[in-house]
Amino acid sequence: MNDSYTQLISYVENQMPFNKHLGIRIRHLEKGFARLYLPYQPEFTGDPRRPALHGGVLSTLVDTCGGVAIWTCCEVEDAIATIDMRVDYLRPAPQGSLFAEARVRLLGNRVGNVQTIIYAQDCQDRIIAEGRAVYNIRRRTKS
């Protein structure tokens, strides 16, 4: 793993307060691709009568994984911000840990487009949600 990926992992996992609070971990990075892991917490449950994870947890994972995938094509110092995002909830998310995988579909100088899938830890073939997002890229010039 190259040094910029090591810096990116440290930044996403340890210096972004919301990601740290949720326990999001990066499992794999390559240019244009990211795989993230979200360990289960009982507080992620939406309606306990179902029981299923809250859709906001899934959308957060889609957004974070997509942003990280874009970041693999940029410098760690660049700023990545979500412009637009859509999440299709395909089935209830079981109470358990989740994975998300995002692939960059289109990358311009200032905008990137990503597709993300979410699946349960124990069943990669059963997609729980799919997301598509567009991110703004603000390049930081080094002084």
In one-letter notation, the amino acid at residue 125 is: D
In one-letter notation, the amino acid at residue 59 is: S
Q: Which domain holds residue 64?
A: 3-138
Q: Are 69 and 102 in contact (CB under 8 A)?
A: yes
Residue 29's beta-bridge partner residues? 34
Please state the rounded mean pLDDT for residues 63-71.
98
The CA dihedral of 139, 140, 141, 143, to the nearest 10 degrees, is -170
143, part of any domain? no
Task: Tell me the CATH number at 58.
Answer: 3.10.129.10
Query: In sequence order, what are the residues at sequence separation of 6 or more whose Cβ sits closer than 8 angstroms to the Cβ of residue 72?
Result: 5, 8, 29, 30, 31, 32, 33, 34, 104
Backbone angles phi, psi at 97, to 5 degrees: -70, 155
63, part of any domain? yes
Q: Can you give the pLDDT at residue 55? A: 95
32, part of any domain? yes
Q: Distance between CA 143 and CA 133 in Å, rounded? A: 31
Q: Can you give the pLDDT at residue 9? A: 96
> pLDDT for 82-128, tens place per residue?
999 999 999 999 989 999 999 999 999 999 999 999 999 777 778 99
Question: Total structural domains in the chain?
Answer: 1
Q: Can you give the pLDDT at residue 125? A: 76
What is the pLDDT of the chain when averaged over all its residues?
A: 94
Nearest to 22 by CA among 51, 52, 65: 65
pTM: 0.93
Q: Does residue 15 carry a pLDDT above 90?
A: yes
